[in-house]
A and B are shown apart, each in its own frame.
Chain A
Amino acid sequence: MKRVISIALSLAMALTAMTGCAQQTATNAQSQPAASEAVSQAAQSAPAEKVTVKLGIWPEDNLKEDIKMHEGFVKTFATTHPNVTIEPDYYKYAVDTFVSLAESGKLPTVFESWYTEPKKLIDGDFVADITDELKECNWPLDSINPIVSQLLTRDGHVYGVPRDGYSLGLMVNVALFKEAGLVNADGTPQYPKTWDELAVTAQKIKQKTGQAGLCLLGKDGAGGWHFSNIAWGFGATLVTEDNGKFVSHLNSPEAVAAMNYVKDLKWKYDCLTADPTSEDWASGFVELGTGSAAMLIGANDAVNQPTQVNGLPVGDLALEPVPAGPKGQYSLAGGTPYMFAKNATKEEIKAALDYIEIMGKSPKATEDTINGIKADAENHKNSGVPVIPRFPAWTDKKLLDAEDQIIKQYSNVNMNLYNDYYKAINTPGNLRLEEPGDAQNMYSELAKVIQACVTNKNADVQKLMDTAQANFQKILDTQVNKK
């Protein structure tokens, strides 16, 4: 009897273990007819084939106003695309979830990525080549801003379209400047024009308000990203290309001088937040938005972060030019792309492009695009986000003029808080792209040096930069130059 019971129990256990698989099989089996039906329906109703577009660019649940705006876009879209089903599939790009989604074919049709990612995504064959679809949708490929185009194109093939571009500037918490008595008669902040002025201004603010003058990022690669912009002002070029091989210059006298400056911000001027090694892109905006830091290197495409996300009143934010160094003034420029799942069909990609057009992010000055730009501006205004000119991702004049008009119409900020920034980035020679080769690993190496400089008063900057140089050149030689 015991034997019978034990056999029965073990069989039950074995069956339980397999239940997961069995359930899956059953589900698959059930869904099979539905899928076949859909295929046959699509075949019957061709050419108006049933298409489902999964929108990874749908707003996240808590952004009610943004969702309302997208629901409006969907209505407009449905009038011209009755055969297309739009499926909200919010996906915030994250490196630790991306590959699993891509490899299992579960990526949304279109998703937003970061400025740093296209190279990796194209190399890994994770994203679709959309050159043909762009041509069929009459998107003028030659009108992508060349700065952004370089990020999204490989051997003449296009792998994404820009949401918008960005150019680094100096974000300023005007309220803290006021508290420190650093404002002009018209209410604009007396922002620093050079890095030396920045150190002194930041020090004054910390002494007068008790809050940090500057939030320096040091937790991860974002610190190196900002540092490269500082280093250019000191005359450094961090990477050069020689016959297709990349050569690093992280320990050049100019780069070392820039790093010494960063070290001084901590030990000579003591104007930083309590722990720069814990500050990253997101925490920087928290510090600025909540009034714990008066300045932060930031870009025009992130003005919603201190305001909408972290509660800074819209009139208390200013965006000024990156301070100049002894060897010039530069702004690092890049772009944020929309990219498409590798397994998306031609029709899905074309429908997604049409949706982007309705969102107002296409290069064509059509009525849909202009309405989309208007809806976006109105939404920004309602959400307390500064309505300011975008960094143009497209160069079509008609579109840019229409956009200018809309920005003026919905303006909710004193443009004197932004004009110097736009003047600077429109100065010829001001914009520079990320250093070539392997910018991400370079940023990581630089971040380590920043961490050492802000945690050790006696850090030997030259020695640290020599190590960073040796490390990064080794990475270039073993991972990039050998290809």
Chain B
Amino acid sequence: MNRDKFKKTATAWLIMAPSLILFAFFVWEPLLESIRLSLYTAKGIRLQAFVGLGNYFSVFQQPDFLPAILNTVSYTIWSLIIGFFILIIIAVLVTETVHLKSFFRMGVYFPNIMPGMAAVMMWGFLLKPGKLGVLNIIFSWIGIQPLNWLTNPLWTIPLIVATLTWKNAGTTALIYMAAVDSINPELYEAAAIDGARTWARIRYITIPHIFGLGKTLLILQIISVFQILYEPLVLTNGGPNNASISIMQLVFKYAFQDFNYPGAAALSVIICFILVILTAVYFKVTKFKEADGGAN
């Protein structure tokens, strides 16, 4: 009996083995090691003395902690405002386009093929304040005075999120486009026969069909934006006056500027904890979606 069971499962285990080994080395072991590190004092990454939750309390007490958490939530909210619905609109518009469809598709995806750091630096030049910023030069042609862009604390996070959306929109938009394309065209034909115009087709056919996908992508977007690091690091270094510092940037500062690895580990575990909660929500949402799919 056991032998039969072994025979049945051996191949499966062998297929999984490389992934399991890689996961163990590159994901689980560092994760557990981070938790251990967060409970000790250390010189470099050499553990010194067990301090329990001491590093966590210390991290909470640091003056940059609160602005970093609030900013990270702000990044997430702005990313939903700027970077969620627009992509659906783009996907629907491109799909509805009759002429030059491939051109528009490529156009939407194009920023994705740019190296991330190059894109961020390019935006740095575009958004430079004063008379030498590229956008300010363009605006000056129509008589607009130079704008402060990223140095205006109220604009910093929305602008960073806008650059982020520009860079990453392509992939998500393509997924939506694929979903829209997969809708049975007979539904549209039937709707057209019934006299439905474009908006009615979108409202009653397209949106209901991509709704489940949207719910999943929304949670994935939150998880991703919550870990925003290099955009604020390069564009503003967290400034002005902490207006754009993110929680991951604080981890970076602890680890690579202060050599405070236990502090960085403690903060990482906190982020992990928050994201686990979000992932639980994600699971619930996808389960819901599956139920939707079953009903369809």
Please list the residues of chain A having a beta carbon within 8 angstroms of any beta carbon in chain B.
Answer: 3, 6-7, 10-11, 13-14, 16-18, 95-96, 98-99, 102-103, 120, 123-126, 218-220, 273-275, 277-278, 440, 445, 447-449, 451-452, 454-456, 464, 470-471, 474-475, 478-479
Contact = CB atoms under 8 A, between A and B. Distances in A.
Nearest to A10: B14
B152 interface: yes
A447 B61 CA distance: 20
Contacts of A445: 63
B130 interface: yes
Most buried by A among B43, B124, B240: B240
For chain B, the bracket of interface size reads 35 or more
Nearest to A210: B131
Contact of B237 (A125, A220, A479): A220
Nearest to A459: B241
B182 interface: no
B133 interface: yes
A186 to B, nearest CB: 34
Nearest to B241: A452
Nearest to B240: A451
B227 interface: no
B295 to A, nearest CB: 36
Contact of B152 (A7, A14, A455, A470): A455
A18 B17 CA distance: 11
A275 B18 contact: no
A478 B58 contact: yes
Contact of A125 (B44, B133, B241): B44
Given A7-B10, A10-B11, A448-B242, A99 B130 contact: no
Most buried by B among A13, A278, A449, A452: A278
B45 interface: yes
Nearest to A273: B130
A274 B129 contact: yes
Contacts of B124: 278
Contacts of A470: 63
B17 to A, nearest CB: 5
B11 A277 contact: no
B216 interface: no
Interface in B22-43: 22, 43
Contacts of B151: 275, 277, 454-455
A456 B155 CA distance: 13
A447 B241 CA distance: 8
Contacts of B43: 123-125
B21 interface: yes
B236 interface: yes
Contacts of A479: 58
Given A125-B44, A274-B128, A474 B259 contact: no
A99 B152 contact: no
Contact of A7 (B14, B58, B130, B242): B14
B221 interface: no
B257 interface: yes
Contact of A478 (B10, B46, B61): B61
B117 interface: no
Most buried by B among A11, A16, A102, A455: A455
B241 A449 contact: yes
11 contacts: A10-B18, A13-B15, A16-B18, A98-B259, A99-B259, A278-B124, A448-B241, A451-B239, A454-B240, A455-B148, A478-B58
A262 B258 CA distance: 27
B15 A6 contact: yes
Given A95-B259, A274-B131, A275-B151, A7 B11 contact: yes
Contacts of A120: 258-259
Most buried by A among B15, B63, B129, B151: B63
Interface string B42-69: 0111100000000000100111000000
Nearest to B16: A10
Interface string B203-223: 000000000000000000000
A14 B17 contact: yes
Most buried by B among A16, A18, A275, A449: A275
Interface string B235-264: 011011110000000000000111101000
B256 A96 contact: yes
Contacts of B21: 14, 17-18
Contacts of B17: 10, 13-14, 17
